Amino acid sequence: MKMYILIRDDVPNGFAILAAAHASLAAYLRFQDTPEVRDWLAGPFYKAVCGVSAAEFEKDKQCPDHVVLTESALDNREVAIAFNPREASPKSFKYLRLFK
């Protein structure tokens, strides 16, 4: 099981780090009662934090079971998406690059 967190690559690094932390917690709180989260918490407890373009961000919002995070200091701009942990992720996720 793996939780994917996608951060827009045009978000400044300081905000990106905060967004990733908040996204992880927000996804846990949103999906904590699902069987997927129970399995994920039982281990292994994988997460992938990936940087995505604005176009990838918009496309990946179409994938179900997610929460979108905004940043008030950036005029409430959408900065991150966190997905409910899953065994099989969309094929497009295989090509995402890890956030640096």
B/e letters for 33-46, b = 16+ CB within 10 Å, e = fewer, are: eeebbeebeeeeee
**Distance (Å, rounded) from C-alpha 77 to C-alpha 69?**
8
Q: How many domains does the chain have?
A: 1
**Average pLDDT across the chain, whole number:** 96
Could you tell me the pTM of the whole model? Answer: 0.94
Domain assignment of residue 43, given as a range: 2-98
Of residues 21, 5, 7, the one with CA closest to residue 82: 5
CATH code of the domain covering residue 36: 3.40.1490.10
Average pLDDT over residues 14-18: 96
Render pLDDT for 40-72 as a digit per residue (tens, 0 to 9): 999 888 999 999 999 999 999 999 999 999 999
